[in-house]
Amino acid sequence: MNFDVVGPALLLGLAMIGSSLGCGIAGMASHAVMARIDEGHGKMIGMSAMPSSQAIYGFILMLLMNGAIKEKTLSPMGGIGIGVGVGLALLVSSLMQGKACATGIQASAKQPAIYGKCFAAIGIVESFSLFAFVFALLLF
């Protein structure tokens, strides 16, 4: 059995699951708020899309990891380890970012002036995805 693609596939799958869950949570909050307010819907939609970035990180890492395994600079077992570890980090980060986006959407609907400030917490959660992304690059 060929294990070459297991690690990259796990990484991509976990990142995509996390992004879909995070965007789903934020999207549901966005829908609820848009039903109550008459304007500013684009801002709500934009914030609800924030957890999709982890899917991009997962996709890029999957491509790079697959290439490293083919070039034999990364073993398939190393790829599985990186894939599971970084994939889970991206999944959890996306999920938590979706929750932060949902509360940011709800808070800014009540007080529109705080919309920009809500991105501080969202950005902090995003930074953990970036750390996982960069640290994974250092491993292969």
User: What domain range is 64 assigned to?
Assistant: 6-139
> Is 24 inside any structural domain?
yes
CA dist list (Å): 33 to 5, 22, 108, 133: 42, 17, 9, 33
Question: Domain containing 27 — which CATH number?
Answer: 1.20.120.610
Q: Tell whether the model's pLDDT for residue 36 goes beyond 80.
A: yes
- Tokens 């959660």 locate to 125
Name the domain count of the chain.
1
Whether residue 93 lies inside any domain: the answer is yes
Asked if residue 26 belongs to a domain, the reply is yes
- % the chain with pLDDT above 70: 100
pLDDT per position as a tens digit, 103-116: 999 999 999 999 99
The pLDDT tens digits for 81-136 are 999 999 999 999 999 999 999 999 999 999 999 999 999 999 999 999 999 999 99
* Single-letter amino acid code for the residue at 98: G
Confidence (pTM):
0.92
- The pLDDT value recorded for residue 59 is 98
Give the whole-angstrom CA distance, residue 133 versus residue 54: 9
1 lies in some domain: no
- Report whether pLDDT(22) > 80: yes
Inform me whether the pLDDT recorded for 40 exceeds 90: no
Query: Does any domain span residue 79?
Result: yes
Checking phi first, is residue 40 left (phi over 0); if not, alpha (psi -120 to 50) or beta? left
Give pLDDT tens digits for 52-73. Answer: 999 999 999 999 999 999 999 9
Is 112 contained in some domain? yes
Q: What is the mean pLDDT of residues 29-33?
A: 94
Q: Is 125 a member of any domain?
A: yes
Q: What is the CA radius of gyration of the chain?
A: 17
Instruction: Please state, rounded to an integer, the average pLDDT across all residues of the chain.
Output: 95
Kindly indicate the confidence band of residue 41, based on its pLDDT and cuts at 50, 70 and 90. confident
